[in-house]
């Protein structure tokens, strides 16, 4: 009798993205140390909440960026129909 292969686990992740926009009336130069303090405070707040609001989490991956958005665009591009994407019949 053949044994069953082990069940493959599905990787799961909850992703949240916050883009915190600097207002037009803010000073032209925000010191790097203040940006780093903001990163630390926000990360600390989120990680302290996680065990209570999402106890299944095993770790958190954090990306930090300080951006100058001279160009801010996003587009949805329709791809050609295929059977696999459900837009064409077989």
The predicted-structure confidence for 4-38, as pLDDT tens digits, reads as follows 777 888 889 999 988 888 888 888 888 999 999 99
pLDDT tier, 1 (very low <50, low <70, confident <90, very high otherwise): low
What is the distance between the alpha carbons of residues 50 and 42, in angstroms, rounded to a whole number?
12
What is the distance between the alpha carbons of residues 37 and 30, in angstroms, rounded to a whole number?
12
pLDDT of residue 64: 92
Q: Per-residue pLDDT tens for 44-74?
A: 999 999 999 999 999 999 999 988 878 878 8
Q: For 63, list phi and psi in degrees, rounded to 5.
A: -110, 135
What is the distance between the alpha carbons of residues 88 and 78, in angstroms, rounded to a whole number?
13
pLDDT at 3 over 80: no
pTM metric for this prediction: 0.65
Contact 57, 50 (CB under 8 A): yes
């Amino acid at each position: 009798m053949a044994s069953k292969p082990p069940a493959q686990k599905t990787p799961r992740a909850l992703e949240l993205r916050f883009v915190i926009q600097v207002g037009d009336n803010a000073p032209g130069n925000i010191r790097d140390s203040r940006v780093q303090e903001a990163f630390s405070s926000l990360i600390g707040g989120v990680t302290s909440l996680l065990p209570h609001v999402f106890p299944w989490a095993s770790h958190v991956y954090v990306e930090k960026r300080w951006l100058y958005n001279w160009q801010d665009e996003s587009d949805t591009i329709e791809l050609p129909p295929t059977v696999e994407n459900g837009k064409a019949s077989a």
